[in-house]
Amino acid sequence: MHSTPDPDRVFDSSNLIVYIYQWRKPLIIVSVLAMVLAAVFSSPLFIKPLYKSTVTVFPTTTNSLSKALLPQQFSSRGQDIMEFGEEEQAEQLLQILYSDEIRDKVIENYDLVNHYDIDTNGKYVRTELYKTFESNISFRRTEYMSVEINVLDTDPQMAADIANEIVVLLDEAKNRIQKERAQKGLDIIEREYLGIKAEVTAYEDSLTQLRYKGVHDYETQSAVLSEQLATAMIENTNSKAVVQIQNQLDTLAKYGGTYVSLRDELQFMKEEQVKLKTRYDQAKVDVSQSMPASFKVNNAYPAEKKSYPTRWLIVALSALGAFTLTLITILIMDTIKGAGKKRIA
């Protein structure tokens, strides 16, 4: 057995259209009033227009300038200073951009406390300042692995200046971080290099003293003197020469081992000194020289049109919201009124 549906409960879109038409006057009046109020309160008298400037940068893959320019000293494959970075390098740039160092320098350089009209006598001055900063200045990584710097400001020229300044501060911050680490590395290599240089000098001085004693080239001298001694003894013509040669051989025997040890150790230490000198020179390059931390795609320029607020959108949403709220209010009141009449009947 099928029940017959209540015609009053069956939804019919034409009924809604007729219902709206019956209440068209209050709906139109409220909607128009909302549009007028939205247009007025979104005007520059109440909301200061904000202008947007944007800078796009690509990260680099170069961390060490010496490795990029002198790769043969380290490995067969060096870094390419012309190569764009990828996701990892882009994320590193974002972390630096969100650092307190860049934020505080921008605030100080452009006196944003006064520019943003922050109440310096308030209880949460710094919190309010940082929130305003974060709402006006933002950074994001694009799908092309670049980093976008967006700045909103009531002054279009200041918005462009801040965006361009942030790129400069980004380079300074990254180079500072890298140079601090490079300086520590330079200090370590410098100590090692100066230490081995002093040892080389000491070994050379010791060899010089042995040369004063007559030991110049142990192997060659030993061979030559032994041959001369054998010849003199066979000829037996000059006993004085034999004694002199024998004394020289005794000197070689006494200091030869020390000479050979010092000479071989000195040769090894000089090889190590050359390697350390190369690394020392490269470390000095990393500390004293720097390159931009990013590839700048474009400079920011003062915007000609405001980006916020979008008045037409505010007006449209206000009208739609007012229309919907009024309609719902009418439906509720009409429903309550109808229910009351049924109970009375």
Q: What's the predicted TM-score (pTM) here?
A: 0.64
Name the residue with higher pLDDT: 344 or 88: 88
Region 210-233: what's the mean pLDDT? 71
pLDDT tens digits for range 68-88: 555 544 444 455 555 655 778
Nearest to 192 by CA among 265, 279, 271, 262: 279
Cα(183)–Cα(340) distance, integer angstroms = 85
Nearest to 129 by CA among 140, 144, 113: 113
pLDDT of residue 100: 92
pLDDT of residue 5: 46
Structure tokens at 230: 């054998």
pLDDT of residue 129: 93
Residue 136: pLDDT over 90:
yes
pLDDT of residue 65: 56
3-class DSSP state of 265:
helix
Distances, alpha carbon 336 to alpha carbons 329, 340, 341, in Å: 11, 6, 9
| pLDDT more than 70, % of the chain | 77
pLDDT of residue 146: 87
Q: Poorest-confidence range of 177-191, 201-215, 235-249, 267-281?
A: 235-249
What average pLDDT is seen over the chain? 79
Q: Establish whether the linkage from the previous residue to 309 is cis, with ω within 30° of 0.
A: yes
Residue 9: pLDDT over 60:
no
Q: Which residues of 230-247 are buried (b: 16+ CB within 10 A; e: fewer)?
A: eebeeeeeeeeebeebee
